[in-house]
Amino acid sequence: MQLVPASQFTIEELTAAYNQTRVDYIVPMPMTAQRLRQYVNTYDISLDASAVAIDGDDILGLCMLGIREQRAWITRLGVLPVKRRHGAGQALMEYEIEQAVRYGLSTIYLEVIVGNAPAYALFSRLGFVEERHLLILRRPPGSPPEAPLSPVEATWVEPEETLNYLSSRPWRAAWTNQAESIANAGDVRALHLVELDSGNAGWVTYQQTALQFKRVMLAPSPGSELAPAFSLLHHLHSSGPLLDTIAENVPAEAPHLADFYALGYVESFARIEMLLQLNS
Amino acid sequence: MTTGQIPTILIIEDNPNNARIMRRVLEREQYQILHAEDGESGIQLALTSAPDLILLDLGLPDVDGQTIAGMLKQPNALPDTPVVVVTAWPAETARQMVTAYGCEGYISKPINTREFGAQVTSFLPTSA
């Protein structure tokens, strides 16, 4: 088995290989080549630092490394089902850790789906420790429930101003939700609300497609301990009642989680975020 | 669906092996089968062909199954057409998604080829 940089393959080859490694996954999440290309761009994936495991002309598996400043993110690790349990997964992970050291990085993050025991065991053996649980929430189309709402001052924010809000989050965002991801994704708007009765202020981001609200993230504004989460989500979903919604990597400890559920969100699955500190 | 008509089942599934197995079992049951291998073509085919039942994979490469179900169940789409999710997701999660998105039920992957035909038949509307 050899490990070679992913940059030696086309996006189409990487997509085909990735999809084959995930056919029996708990949550398969296959991709088109276009989506993988967007993924690489949005999440600052270095294809030079990412790796493909090969045996002759056959691809056995792959792993990708995102790099931002001193931080790294391991993602899309996968080995063909018939090639597992021969060390390819561990070899790919060790390669990526070496790459992170070579690049002078200080931390590596990754997420593993809850229930993926073999992957969790591998990451633990390599020194990754649990940081927190992250939830993937879905909301089917539908008008939000009738509810008394506090009077608010609402501002719909254009994409170029959305980034100004992201630095005020009182918790560390998961890689997919960091400011760099939002800047790279483009066309992510926001709604800012101030509840006139309570003074609570906050914002929710969203990216709107023909069928869906994506990149839904919510946080209080600076100086406000609580975000008016119910009002924010109610306003958002009133503006697009026919749209499906996904809120990805919501921290399980987020104070406004109950408001998501009250507005009709359900938990689709959960991830465990893990961290490896590097001595660089 | 009226008495005497052969029911049409639309399979929205990107994995060609899974689709082939489902098609083979259901054609033995004398159903007419349509197949879309991604979400967007699945939506188009559903709206243009008005099948009697839709078998829907959740993990599609372009538009995922939940989004498709949400779209098809809207009043101006196909709200009365049974949508049955075919998924390897854990049972409790599959049940939650089915309930949340108004689907009629789910069938677990990998499918049992001896039971699959009867499972699908149980979701078809009874003849008028």
B69 touches chain A (CB under 8 A): yes
* pLDDT value, residue A26: 81
Q: Which residues of B touch A141 (CB under 8 A)?
A: 70-71, 73-74
| Region A91-104 average pLDDT | 98
Q: What is the pLDDT of residues B21-47, one digit of tens each?
A: 999 999 999 999 999 999 999 999 999
Q: Which residues of A touch B89 (CB under 8 A)?
A: 26-27, 269
When CB atoms are compared, the residue of A23, A242, A244 closest to B66 is A244
CA nearest to A241 within chain B? B74
A140 and A264 Cβ atoms separated by less than 8 Å: yes
CB contact under 8 A, A32 and B61: yes
User: What confidence category does residue B3 fall into, taking pLDDT thresholds of 50, 70 and 90?
Assistant: low
Q: Which residues of A touch B67 (CB under 8 A)?
A: 211-212, 244
What is the Cα–Cα distance from B103 to B106, expressed in whole angstroms? 8
Q: What is the pLDDT of residues A111-139, one digit of tens each?
A: 999 999 999 999 999 999 999 999 999 99
* pLDDT value, residue A201: 96
> Percentage of residues in chain A with pLDDT exceeding 90?
91
Q: ipTM for the complex?
A: 0.90
CB contact under 8 A, B59 and A30: yes
Which among B21, B67, B87, B89 is the top mutation candidate for probing chain A, defined by the most A β-carbons within 10 Å of its own β-carbon?
B67
A238 touches chain B (CB under 8 A): no
* pLDDT value, residue B4: 64
| Region B89-113 average pLDDT | 94
Counted across chains A and B, CB pairs separated by less than 8 A come out at 57
Of B39, B34, B36, residue with least CA distance to B66: B39
When CB atoms are compared, the residue of B15, B38, B101 closest to A140 is B101
| Region B101-123 average pLDDT | 97
Is residue A173 predicted with pLDDT exceeding 90?
A: yes
A211 touches chain B (CB under 8 A): yes
With the C-alpha atoms ordered B121, B19, A24, A99, is the resulting torsion angle positive or negative? negative
CB contact under 8 A, B97 and A268: yes
* pLDDT value, residue B125: 86
Q: Which amino acid is at A81?
A: P
Q: Which residues of A touch B85 (CB under 8 A)?
A: none
Q: What is the pLDDT of residues B71-92, one digit of tens each?
A: 999 999 999 999 999 999 889 9
A241 touches chain B (CB under 8 A): no
Query: Omega into A81 within 30° of 0, i.e. cis?
Result: no
* pLDDT value, residue B128: 38
User: What confidence category does residue A28 fall into, taking pLDDT thresholds of 50, 70 and 90?
Assistant: confident
> How close A13 comes to chain B (CA, Å)?
15
A166 touches chain B (CB under 8 A): no
| φ and ψ of A213, to 5 deg | -95, 125
Q: What is the pLDDT of residues A188-229, one digit of tens each?
A: 999 999 999 999 999 999 999 999 999 999 999 999 999 999
Is residue A96 predicted with pLDDT exceeding 90?
A: yes
A75 and A119 Cβ atoms separated by less than 8 Å: no
CA nearest to A114 within chain B? B90
* pLDDT value, residue A148: 86
Q: Which residues of B touch A20 (CB under 8 A)?
A: none
What is the Cα–Cα distance from A164 to A190, expressed in whole angstroms? 10
Tell me the average pLDDT of chain A.
95
Q: Which amino acid is at A157?
A: V
* pLDDT value, residue A93: 98
CB contact under 8 A, A30 and B60: yes
Q: Who contacts B9 (Cβ-Cβ below 8 Å, separation ≥6)?
A: B26, B31, B32, B33, B34, B51, B52, B53, B54, B55, B120
Is residue B127 predicted with pLDDT exceeding 60?
A: no
> How close B124 comes to chain A (CA, Å)?
23
Of A28, A96, A101, residue with least CA distance to A62: A96
Q: Which residues of B touch A267 (CB under 8 A)?
A: 96
Which among A23, A25, A138, A143 is the top mutation candidate for probing chain B, defined by the most B β-carbons within 10 Å of its own β-carbon?
A138
> How close B4 comes to chain A (CA, Å)?
35
CB contact under 8 A, B96 and A29: no
* pLDDT value, residue B33: 98
Q: Which residues of B touch A242 (CB under 8 A)?
A: 74
A75 and A181 Cβ atoms separated by less than 8 Å: no
